[in-house]
A and B are shown apart, each in its own frame.
Chain A
Amino acid sequence: MQLTLWTYEGPPHIGAMRVATGMKGLHYVLHAPQGDTYADLLFTMIERRGERPPVTYTTFQARDLGGDTAELFKASVAAAHERFRPQAMIVGASCTAELIQDDPGGLAAALELPIPVIPLELPAYQKKENWGAAETLYRLVRGLAKPAVQRRPKTCNILGPTALGFRNRDDVIEVKKLLASLGIEVLVTAPMDATPADIARLPEADFNVSLYPEISEPAARYLEKTFGQKFTTVIPIGVGATRAFIREVAATAGIDAAATLPDGEARLPWYSRSVDSTYLTGKRVFIFGDATHAMAAARVARDELAFDVVGLGTYSRELARPMRELAREFGLEALITDDYLEVEKSVAELHPDLVLGSQMERHIAKRLGVPCAVISAPVHVQDFPARYAPQMGFEGANVIFDTWVHPLMMGLEEHLLHMFRDDFEFHEQAAPSHLGHRKQSDAPVAPATPATVSWLPDAEDELKKIPFFVRKKARRNTEAYATARGLAHITVETLYDAKAHFSR
């Protein structure tokens, strides 16, 4: 048993729903008890979709358990086929139905419907949402893709975008733009907007762009193994990664990318080099999310904004290995967990200047009074913006620059705070002036002071003169410095000794 307050990922059938809802002409019949229909609201409310997800639930109740839930399932499949007339169906069980072992695949097959019906085995007590989405896409590809009569050069498919994905809608537009500039045509984007017939013709393309490896990689590997289609591995988030993606695509397609490489619309490089951005240097940033977005964010933070990455992790256990490798490159140990409390503890200990994470980290940052920007699912309704806001490609990099810099204190404002510490408006509780009057918490969340080190009143007063946004760090550093030297009391001298020590 695992004690959970909030979960990063839903159960695996939610992943299957993300695939089905992204597609057209596919219907999902889910053997599930009453109440599991809550999942519809993820799509209709959070993503603001104007259609119900193409999902039929059997919504069995206690009285059905005594009767024939298998018959109920068969009737539901037949009725869904009759009403929605899909090109293909997927069938499966949610966590409770898994326990009653009705065999949805076998029951559906017995109906001998005139369309492909693909059974899904999604072990709800072992696996989670992204795995479920990846498995569903893989099963669909395996079940529907047909050998191509002829492969078409300079074409590709985009694999991975789903319903409820973080900025998937705009990423696809941006990546298609990049590919078009290279003269490459996108045959099928899947699951998003693809029909089962589109899945069938995936092998016609020359290669695949695997955009969200958590979801697309098993399908991409299958297509490579079975149909010899190569797939890309670079995720074009950030200017550097976008350039690398262009090179990879060009090499895969056998074309010359030199013409496209000058990245005219990328403003991030100049914005980052312009003098106003000097104050961003060395901002301490904590990064957590799905592995793809967190790893990309870490590279952008270090190489394109000159931040210090002080914490890095993911809830995607499937991609723990590459995450660990990258973290080592940053001199960090990756935090691999799906326990929200562990992430909170880590943020509290590290006192970053900025948190980049999912909506969970937004909760954490809000609680701790740390600025935050969202970089990864799970996200909430405000992270499905009306405007065009990709994360990928050169425009995505522009969006990232704006989004990450916005929560921070502006350059000149930070200087003024240093100069006029006792100013009545620039007091210690002040938030960045463009963000209203949010209260910032100064209290150490985890008691950082070992009982053996105490602050003398003079030192405590001096500490208060240090601007609030670095005060927590100063307190922590001074205490660490004193503890390391076995000092019982912290004096004003200790404070400045520690400052000198840590500024080396």
Chain B
Amino acid sequence: MNSPVILRESRGATCDAPQVKRERGQREVFCGLTSIVWLHRKIQDAFFLVIGSRTCAHLIQSAAGVMIFAEPRFATAIIEERDLAGLADLDNELDRVVGRLLERRPEIRMLFLVGSCPSEVIKLDLKRAAARLNREHMPNVRVLNYSGSGIETTFTQGEDACLTSLVAELPDAGAQKSLLIAGSLPDAVEDQFSRIFRELNIPCAFLPGRKSASLPKIGANSRVLMAQPFLGDTARALTDRGAQVIAAPFPFGAEGTRLWLQAAAEEFGVSSQLFEAVTGPAYRRAEAALAHHRARMEGKRIFFFPDSQLEVPLARFVARELGMVLEEVGTPYLHAQHMAQEMALLPAGTALYEGQDVERQLDRCRALRPDITVCGLGLANPLEAEGLTTKWSIELVFSPVHGFEQAADLAGLFARPLNRRERLAV
């Protein structure tokens, strides 16, 4: 809602390169704290303690919704008036809260102190707090810190910040050449990729691991394959540890998955025969499963609101593998280097927006009336009420969508809302 400014039109090298427009205004996105919803399920002995306000606690529980019935492995230490007024010593308060928490949950081995907007604004030094708490609780519990604040992170960037804090903890791999897959994946998908890399004879490990005790190793001969497109800082931290990031598109769709695996295979000198033998059947199976969806989705026009940074790879997938038409692709943040391979695969002239001015974007969306609009939970029902078909984007983050076996499921997530609208006669 602020006066929108197009900050920079990218100076595209060719007229075919996607035009990147930058927009500033009201953003309709989650903050990084939201990543805790899946991170706390992924790392099974970790606890996430947000140091924030009642708003932070309310956000996480609203985003998590009814998904979590068990006692969750996250909580909020709510800063109160007396903390701000200096009546209570924040260090002592935090130590007390952490003590109570660890007493209650003795099975916790790793504790993340997660910074929030208020803790950042009052400049609460969580790094120092983590060091102090480590002295007290190591070796039983390792205490790390990162910021998931909205002033610094957008939605999935919370995972980026979390994994970046983990990178410093990874043991040294020495001279061993191995592959590290970075980005949290559903366990089933991780198992599928594990099997494939084993058959390709590539030693691989995953970041984050399922247990805090089994952290992957990293070193000068490590190669990193990014499983998620939103991990710019994690990649930089891994590079700082000597690892090399393999340039590849992201493993969405049959084509994306194959290119992703192929990039690793080439790096590790896997023969094309072995690669074909290992990946061929799954690739063809995924293609066959996608063909069914493609028949119904081809030519349908799609519009992406910015949300998770998955937008560019997903747009590439729906355009190339489902034949959909990209009306607009919005992304909260565009990391040019990580997206280079993806951008090259986008159709010529794709309208790409970085940042957001939600009101202007809604104006464009209403004018275009796409067949399907990918947007956040705050916008979906209002757009449906205006007669537009929507896909809520958070489901694309929370569902197993990577890899060959999930390619058709990913297509199904876009197909279902369209299918539903066709069926309903009320």
A residues engaging B (CB < 8 A)?
1-7, 9-11, 13-14, 33-42, 44-46, 48-52, 56-62, 64-65, 72, 75-76, 79-80, 83, 94-96, 99-100, 123-126, 128, 359, 363, 366-367, 380-381
Contact = CB atoms under 8 A, between A and B. Distances in A.
A4 B381 contact: no
Interface stretch (B70-78, B169-177, B364-372, B404-412): B70-78
A1 B379 contact: no
B27 interface: yes
A38 B63 contact: yes
Contacts of B75: 3-5
**Listed residue (A10, A14, A46, A51) with the most chain B CB atoms within 10 angstroms of its CB:** A10
Contacts of B69: 363, 366-367
A52 B382 contact: yes
Contacts of B100: 3
A189 B31 CA distance: 36
Contact of A11 (B55, B77, B151): B55
Nearest to B51: A1
A60 B55 contact: no
A33 B150 contact: yes
Contacts of B14: none
Given A48-B381, A58-B2, A79-B1, A10 B58 contact: yes
Contacts of A123: 81
**Listed residue (B30, B58, B93) with the most chain A CB atoms within 10 angstroms of its CB:** B58
Contacts of B66: 359, 380-381
Nearest to B88: A1
A270 to B, nearest CB: 36
Contacts of B378: 37-38, 40-41, 44-45, 52
Contacts of B71: 5
Given A51-B382, A125-B53, A5 B29 contact: no
A3 B26 CA distance: 31
A125 B56 CA distance: 12
Contact of A37 (B28, B58, B74): B28
Nearest to A77: B1
A58 to B, nearest CB: 7
Contact of B3 (A7, A36, A75): A75
Contact of B379 (A44, A94, A367): A44
B30 A1 contact: no
A65 B381 CA distance: 33
Nearest to A344: B71
Nearest to A382: B66
The contact size tier of chain B is: 35 or more
Contacts of A45: 377-378, 380-381
Nearest to B70: A367
A9 B118 CA distance: 19
Interface of B: 1-3, 26-34, 51, 53-55, 57-59, 61-63, 65-66, 69-72, 74-81, 83-84, 88, 90, 93-94, 96-97, 100-101, 117-118, 120-122, 149-152, 154, 359, 376-382, 384-385
B2 A35 contact: no
B73 to A, nearest CB: 10
Given A4-B76, A96-B151, A76 B65 contact: no
Given A37-B26, A52-B378, A125-B83, 16 more contacts: A2-B77, A3-B77, A10-B54, A37-B27, A49-B382, A50-B385, A51-B385, A58-B26, A64-B151, A65-B151, A76-B2, A79-B359, A96-B53, A366-B69, A380-B66, A381-B66
Contact of B65 (A9, A39, A128, A380): A380
B26 A76 contact: yes
B151 A50 contact: no
A59 B27 contact: yes
B79 A44 contact: no
Nearest to B95: A1
Nearest to A123: B81
Contacts of B65: 380
B418 to A, nearest CB: 20
Nearest to B73: A5
Contact of B94 (A1, A13, A359): A1
Nearest to B83: A1
A95 B122 CA distance: 12
A33 B83 contact: no
8 contacts: A1-B80, A11-B54, A33-B31, A42-B62, A44-B377, A72-B2, A79-B3, A95-B54
